[in-house]
């Protein structure tokens, strides 16, 4: 999927239509949607769609995605994509030289880690919500978008499932891998107050509910109706 998207973005740039084009996927078929608990190794490198609640959001920090090195022997410039956690340097030049290359430049983008948890409404019985790490970058971490992806926000995540090496205390890597989603698009599922468009009918309904003497209890019961009980806790949240 990444190669196809990159080719589309490159085509847009070469046509001069958009500079630094980024294609964001929307309205994918239901067949791409999956619960976090049902994600398996067979879904690796495939586009998946999940819905959930943001439980953790790291600070936005720069990350190197590409680095250019110069060979001191022949002057050749070597580009090395940085797709792993450890910074990679070229191992060999076409002239035969090994090691000792000079770093010329680094291409960096802003990145952020979001932990997504299954929403309570999607659970049944005594199931506990599952979580998965997701990684967002570039325009998806701009301040305007970051305001919509704070902990507690409900979102739809579209991205590619990736395997993440797990380092061992001894210094090597475990044979077991963690799973994470490299995000292509984030779609907030809740509108902010600034985005709400209230028409006359909505306003009349709000005014009518405001006169209801049992509105407090009704609002409390509307909080996670799938979770039975905890009336006092729900009332404290209203």
Q: Which of 135, 230, 222 is nearest to 186 (CA)?
A: 135
Instruction: Give every CB contact of residue 202 below 8 A, 6+ residues apart in sequence.
Output: none
CB 137 within 8 A of CB 109: yes
Using CA atoms in the order 19, 8, 186, 166, what is the torsion angle rounded to 10 degrees?
Answer: -110
Going by pLDDT thresholds of 50, 70 and 90, the confidence category of residue 1 is: low
User: CA-CA distance, 190 to 90, in Å (whole number)?
Assistant: 46
Going by pLDDT thresholds of 50, 70 and 90, the confidence category of residue 35 is: very high
DSSP 30: G
CB 152 within 8 A of CB 186: no
Rg (CA), the chain: 24
Please name the helix (run of DSSP H) or strand (run of DSSP E) that holds residue 221, with its range, or none.
Answer: helix 215-221
Going by pLDDT thresholds of 50, 70 and 90, the confidence category of residue 151 is: very high
Ordered by where they begin, the domains of the chain are 28-63+110-188 (2.40.50.140), 64-108 (2.20.28), 200-237 (no CATH)
User: CA-CA distance, 19 to 16, in Å (whole number)?
Assistant: 7
Global pTM value = 0.66
Going by pLDDT thresholds of 50, 70 and 90, the confidence category of residue 170 is: confident
Does the structure show a pLDDT above 80 at 231? no
Q: How far is CA 87 from CA 8, 165, 234, in A?
A: 28, 15, 48
């Amino acid at each position: 999927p990444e190669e196809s998207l990159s080719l589309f973005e490159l085509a847009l740039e070469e046509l001069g239509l958009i500079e630094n084009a980024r294609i964001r996927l929307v309205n994918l078929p239901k067949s791409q949607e999956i619960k976090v608990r049902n994600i398996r190794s067979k879904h690796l490198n495939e586009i998946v769609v999940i819905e959930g609640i943001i439980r953790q959001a790291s600070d936005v920090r720069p990350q190197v995605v590409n680095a250019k090195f110069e060979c001191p022997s022949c002057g050749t410039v070597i580009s090395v994509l940085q797709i792993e956690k450890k910074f990679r340097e070229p191992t060999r030049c076409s002239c035969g030289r090994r090691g000792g290359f000079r770093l010329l430049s680094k291409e960096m983008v802003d990145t952020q880690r979001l932990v997504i948890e299954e929403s309570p409404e999607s659970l049944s019985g005594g199931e506990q919500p599952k979580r998965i790490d997701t990684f967002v970058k570039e325009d998806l971490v701009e301040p305007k978008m970051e305001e919509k992806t704070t902990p507690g926000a409900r979102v739809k995540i579209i991205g590619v499932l990736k395997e993440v090496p797990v380092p061992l205390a001894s210094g090597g890597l475990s044979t077991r891998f963690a799973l994470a989603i490299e995000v292509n698009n984030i779609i907030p599922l809740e509108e902010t107050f600034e985005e709400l468009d209230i028409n006359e009918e909505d306003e009349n309904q709000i005014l009518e509910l405001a006169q209801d003497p049992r509105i407090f209890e009704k609002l409390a019961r509307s909080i996670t109706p799938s979770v039975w009980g905890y009336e006092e806790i729900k009332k404290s949240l209203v």
